[in-house]
Structure 1
Amino acid sequence: MNRKTLVLSAALGLLAPVMAGCGGSGSGSDGGQAIVVGTTDQFTATKTGPAPFDPAYAYDTGSWNILRQTLQTLTHIPRGGGEPVPEAASQCAFHGQNVYSCKLRSGLKFSNGDPVTADDVKYSIQRVVAIHDANSAFALFTNVDRIDTHGATIEFHLKTPDATFPYKLATPAGGIVDPKLYSAKKLRDGFKIDGSGPYTFKADVKNGTLVKATFTKNPTYKGDLKVLNDKVEMRAFPDADAMGTALDKGKIDVMLRSMSPEQIKSMTDNPRKDINLTEMPGLAIRYLGFDTTAPVVKNKAVRQAMAYVVDRQALVAKAYGTTAEPLYSLIPSGITGHTNSFFNQYGAQPSVKQAAETLQKAGIHTPVKLTLHYTTDHYGSATAKEFQVLKSQLNGSKLFDVTVQGTPWKDFRDAEISGKYAAYGMGWFPDFPDPDSFVAPFLDKGNFLGLPYNNPKIRGQLIPQSRREADRGAASSTFGEIQDIVAKDVPILPLWQGKEYVAARDDITGVEWAVDSSEAYHLWELSKGTAGQ
């Protein structure tokens, strides 16, 4: 086994920038043979979530990774990282601070042959906001005051300055859809996707769950990406062990998310000549979220006491080994503006004494009885062990009486959004590599978690102030202040930051470009070469 370790750019949290591939779809190098990748992501259509792949609904890493291959966006983050560059657009630029305009490439077509127009782009963005689904990323575009079109040009007039807007257009929420196939006010139920991206899409579904996705190179694609294969199949597995067995038997070529810590350790300690393990710094974070209106955690002293008691070092060591590291802020290391606010506020080592004093001063009777909820099938097999460790740490302090409850993602997410959980575990993969993507989705109006926590200074002053800075490094002090406020109020308790791992057969090339530190997939980068290269 050849083990590759890639380096993280401290400025943007992606791989060190290199020249981006461009010039259309290129030609595949695999002779038409499908590259087969495995994932433990589960995609299910339910009554409450009937449209897993509609950009006006989807807002989880797995679904976005499906959409990234199929829907085109005006901009995209180039190979290796850096600021967004045009994709469906031929050029984009700010005009002043409040107007961002793009001109479409000529000859763009949806995979069904319909032309892609500026009005289609306008329709697609407005549709996400108009449907306003609680599960979606509509908040990314609520700062848009109006959209004007002039021929092939689209002008976005923003309510307030936002230097991150080009990044937001690069997300799958900004995917361009055909108005003939996507209703303006209704989600497109089921698993169909039609776009102008690098691949067409076919879903194999059993009992309402996706079992295989087939991505076939789109012959009409025109954009900035170079597609290096003709076809990729993605197969969904119930867990990491089943996915690993498929790799061992040659049924898949690549293991994507999520490999278990045990698999990673085994591949590291007992290398195989026919398998490459690629390790990358990651921006994925895990945390506890709190419904700050729930009686058991409404008093911030309870949340602060938990922050004093949780031992991140021990948690990571017992549940994840070397595949993760403790996290002491919402903004992870590797991203501009990162600080260790929770470390500074609560100290290097857990303190039961300070936790007890905090609860006593607030008049909180102990032990505090609460349930920690987690999802059983969304973040990997180690999640259950992680929550057992958390339970042991909190109960070991004698200040808490904690139980843990696991729920499948298809039910967990709906329950979390609707406020049924007082305390719960979640993961976050950034929408784009900027500190704003670790702040606004949790703390701004219309946030991803539906958190009731509202700090007027953060929402009304600090977030808007940070977005006015075109030089993102200049916003570091603002983000530092936000992180300090979060550490004091604890609406969210950061736990750990993960690394990224991909295992692939020795004849698969391009793995280092096919997954970035945000766990975004670029399947067009994969190709088949010669084993042993």
Structure 2
Amino acid sequence: MRKTKWTVFLSLILVLSIFLSACGGGGNNNAGEGGNEGGNAEGGEGKSEQVLNLLESAEIPSMDTTQATDATSFNAMNQIFEGLYRLDENNKPVLGMAADEPKEEEKDGETVYTFTIRDDANWSDGTPVTANDFIFAWKKAMNPDSLSQYASMFGTAGIKNANAIITEGDPLYGKVDELGVKAVDDKTLEITVTQKVPYFKSLLTFATFYPQPKDFVEKQGDKYALETDTMLYNGPFVMSEWNHGDGWTFEKNPEYWDNETVSLEKVTYKIVKDVATGVNLYETGKVDRAGLSADFVDQYKGNEDFVTRLEPTMFFLRLNQKNEALANTNIRKALYLAYDREGLVNVLLNNGSVAAKYFVPKEFAFGPNGKDFREFAPDGFLADKGAEEAKAAWEKGLQEIGKDSVDLEFLTTDTELASKIAEYAKEQFQTKLEGLNVTINKQPWKQFLELETAGDFDISTGGWGPDYPDPMTFLYMFETGADYNRMNYTSEKYDKLVSGAKKETDLEKRWKMMQDAEKVLIEEDFAIVPTYQRGTASLMKPYVKNYFLHPFGADTSLKWVKIEGK
């Protein structure tokens, strides 16, 4: 975040989640409604030890809510911090730090939401959570000196002056005090919006909207959020241990306002990049959940612990147009058409993932007529085209750039699955496009993000899970100059459609504009190469109850998890 999304690394199969958003998803054929993989717990806790042991495939890059950009970070933050709202088991925003639903007042064409912060909302050191904690964090995220890559979320929420403050050249650029937020007193927060957004409350569950304790953060300086003792926590858990590169531990937060609801006393995360190792840890009872790669799916699919689901999380290849060859439309078209997605999902993944020649996922967003966003192009774009058309586009592209060969570097992460997928892409491209040579550059997750953010790649693996329940959470990424564009793509036509859709109040027109934008991005410009919509296959112990998964924002919520019958 996603969104990724982004990590999304709930299990080892999630290794490629490069979205900076939180990703996850409900819709699980072995789960309860709302993505509850553990089912609904009934009765008391019994005498089971309330400890949950999980795997992650990557280190947490950042625990600063204003600076994090990936799903691994967002997922961790969702357990130890809390905003005005949090997502419940049905993926609906429920009250968090807010004591009740806000009062609404219309003023001069604007809407003012007045929130009251809970009297019993405290940080883990016992100090109260205040309205100023929210304002401090939000202005920090908007400040040019500490600008969040998610700063645009405040504009997405319709908050007054948010877009202007982060737009260079605008008279309000950098003037964070002009943001439409106000602390009336310690427990009263006003938010002024110039446009009402139907998913406003869902946005407020996202990590960038979390508060930060101003005095504590300023005291820590550049050490803030680097270790467990340089953070304060206002969520269900605190981070009690952080062994960088190895894992981390959460423990129940006695200062949390709703701590009586929290059953788990401890949650441990161990970083394991190899699927076989994770499965072995699961089989020996050392972890309670493990992701499965294709090699293990057939072995476990009849097991009662086996769980699969399709997520609204998309994977794709970024094509960096700073590269002379990739600046050519026909070269990009050739790469798009040469990639065999069916082979990828049916053989290499084998986990319920779906081949995709589209970017906005299916079974995620539904328009004013109630139909799936994907209904206008259910199979994606150029679905009937393949290797022959790819070869023709490649030859034409080479002629246009005056070359008979092209060398490209493929940036990916160093996990087992990422490596396999990169090798698969290399084989697809080199065998179908004569004269193309691909070199794979594998990097640890944090270093991967740094290189990709800097645009230091030709092709990179991208993944994106939604940050809020609307197609715009995918489409805004590729506007000219957007933080997550990262590939030098620019299209006046695309920008006009996306920016227009952000302002359009006619829902049918807005829907059509977003669909047209996706078509420009993929079918006309071949700016990215969508590869698959993620499915996951995993094992989870039946004694883990109320393990809630979310289709947008953070992957999971552990607040309601119970261990029963172990």
Q: Do they superpose with TM above 0.5?
A: yes
Does 1:179 pair with 2:214? yes
Contact 2:26 2:551 in 1 (8 A): no
Contact 1:99 1:155 in 2 (8 A): no
Aligned partner letter, 1:110: W
Does 1:329 pair with 2:358? yes
* Alignment counterpart, residue 62 of structure 1, candidates 68, 72, 85: 72
Does 1:260 pair with 2:293? yes
Closer, same or farther: CA 501–525 of 1 in aligned 2, 3 Å: farther
- Give how far 1:515 is off: 5.8
- After superposition, the C-alpha distances for 1:215-249 in whole angstroms (9 at most, x for unaligned) are 22222222599423232222222322222211111
- Give how far 1:315 is off: 2.1
- Give how far 1:120 is off: 1.1
3-state DSSP of counterpart to 2:227 = coil
Distance 1:289 1:349 in 2: 20
Closer, same or farther: CA 514–54 of 1 in aligned 2, 3 Å: same
3-state DSSP of counterpart to 1:424 = strand
Closer, same or farther: CA 108–350 of 1 in aligned 2, 3 Å: same
Contact 1:312 1:327 in 2 (8 A): yes
3-state DSSP of counterpart to 2:216 = coil
- Give how far 1:88 is off: 1.2
- What corresponds to 1:287 in structure 2? 316
What does residue range 329-348 of structure 1 map to in structure 2 within 5 Å?
329-336=358-365, 337-338=373-374, 343=379, 345-348=381-384
- Give how far 1:416 is off: 0.9
3-state DSSP of counterpart to 2:484 = coil
Does 1:81 pair with 2:73? no
* Alignment counterpart, residue 563 of structure 2, candidates 521, 528, 532: 528
Distance 1:516 1:73 in 2: 18
Contact 1:287 1:492 in 2 (8 A): yes
Distance 1:166 1:359 in 2: 50
Aligned partner letter, 1:229: L
- Give how far 1:351 is off: 3.4
Does 1:316 pair with 2:335? no
- Give how far 1:449 is off: 4.4
- TM-score, normalization by structure 2: 0.78
- Give how far 1:37 is off: 2.3
- What corresponds to 1:22 in structure 2? none
Closer, same or farther: CA 395–133 of 1 in aligned 2, 3 Å: farther
Distance 1:518 1:313 in 2: 28
Distance 2:382 2:110 in 1: 40
Does 1:439 pair with 2:458? no
Aligned partner letter, 1:157: T
- What corresponds to 2:392 in structure 1? 356
Aligned partner letter, 1:8: G
- Give how far 1:514 is off: 4.9
- Give how far 1:171 is off: 0.8
Does 1:303 pair with 2:338? no
- What corresponds to 2:152 in structure 1? 139
- Give how far 1:7 is off: 6.7
- What corresponds to 1:196 in structure 2? 234
Closer, same or farther: CA 376–519 of 1 in aligned 2, 3 Å: farther
Contact 1:15 1:517 in 2 (8 A): no
Closer, same or farther: CA 480–35 of 1 in aligned 2, 3 Å: same
Distance 1:162 1:119 in 2: 24
- What corresponds to 2:127 in structure 1? 114
- What corresponds to 1:216 in structure 2? 251
- Give how far 1:463 is off: 3.7
Closer, same or farther: CA 343–94 of 1 in aligned 2, 3 Å: farther
- After superposition, the C-alpha distances for 1:90-118 in whole angstroms (9 at most, x for unaligned) are 21366557545233223211111111111
Contact 1:284 1:518 in 2 (8 A): no
Closer, same or farther: CA 18–448 of 1 in aligned 2, 3 Å: closer
Aligned partner letter, 1:121: F
Contact 1:40 1:239 in 2 (8 A): no
Distance 1:15 1:507 in 2: 14
What does residue range 363-382 of structure 1 map to in structure 2 within 5 Å?
363-364=400-401, 365-377=403-415, 381-382=416-417
3-state DSSP of counterpart to 1:137 = coil
What does residue range 222-261 of structure 1 map to in structure 2 within 5 Å?
222=257, 226-255=261-290, 258-261=291-294
Does 1:508 pair with 2:547? no
* Alignment counterpart, residue 440 of structure 2, candidates 400, 404, 415: 404
* Alignment counterpart, residue 27 of structure 2, candidates 8, 22, 27: 8
Closer, same or farther: CA 133–118 of 1 in aligned 2, 3 Å: closer
Distance 2:488 2:198 in 1: 26
Aligned partner letter, 1:58: A
Deviates more, 1:339-348 or 1:289-298: 339-348
Contact 1:131 1:186 in 2 (8 A): no
- Give how far 1:155 is off: 2.5
Gaps of 5+ in 2: 1-24, 37-42, 162-178, 366-372
Aligned partner letter, 1:281: L
What does residue range 151-162 of structure 1 map to in structure 2 within 5 Å?
151=185, 152-158=187-193, 162=197
- After superposition, the C-alpha distances for 1:461-485 in whole angstroms (9 at most, x for unaligned) are 53452465596x7743222111111
- Give how far 1:174 is off: 1.4
* Alignment counterpart, residue 123 of structure 1, candidates 125, 130, 136: 136
- What corresponds to 2:57 in structure 1? 41
Aligned partner letter, 2:153: L
Aligned residues: 494
- Give how far 1:277 is off: 2.0
- Give how far 1:411 is off: 1.5
Distance 1:285 1:356 in 2: 28
What does residue range 17-36 of structure 1 map to in structure 2 within 5 Å?
29=45, 33-36=49-52
Aligned partner letter, 1:295: E
3-state DSSP of counterpart to 1:314 = helix
- Give how far 1:160 is off: 5.5
Closer, same or farther: CA 422–339 of 1 in aligned 2, 3 Å: farther
Contact 1:514 1:521 in 2 (8 A): yes
- Give how far 1:386 is off: 1.7
Contact 1:281 1:517 in 2 (8 A): no
Aligned partner letter, 1:148: K
Contact 2:497 2:516 in 1 (8 A): no
3-state DSSP of counterpart to 2:462 = strand
- After superposition, the C-alpha distances for 1:254-278 in whole angstroms (9 at most, x for unaligned) are 33xx432323332115x2xxx6222
Contact 1:109 1:220 in 2 (8 A): yes
Aligned partner letter, 2:184: H
Contact 2:253 2:259 in 1 (8 A): no
Distance 1:254 1:112 in 2: 32
- What corresponds to 2:512 in structure 1? 477
Distance 2:76 2:484 in 1: 20
- After superposition, the C-alpha distances for 1:11-44 in whole angstroms (9 at most, x for unaligned) are xxx985599xxxxxxx993658342322233226
3-state DSSP of counterpart to 2:215 = coil
Distance 1:312 1:18 in 2: 27
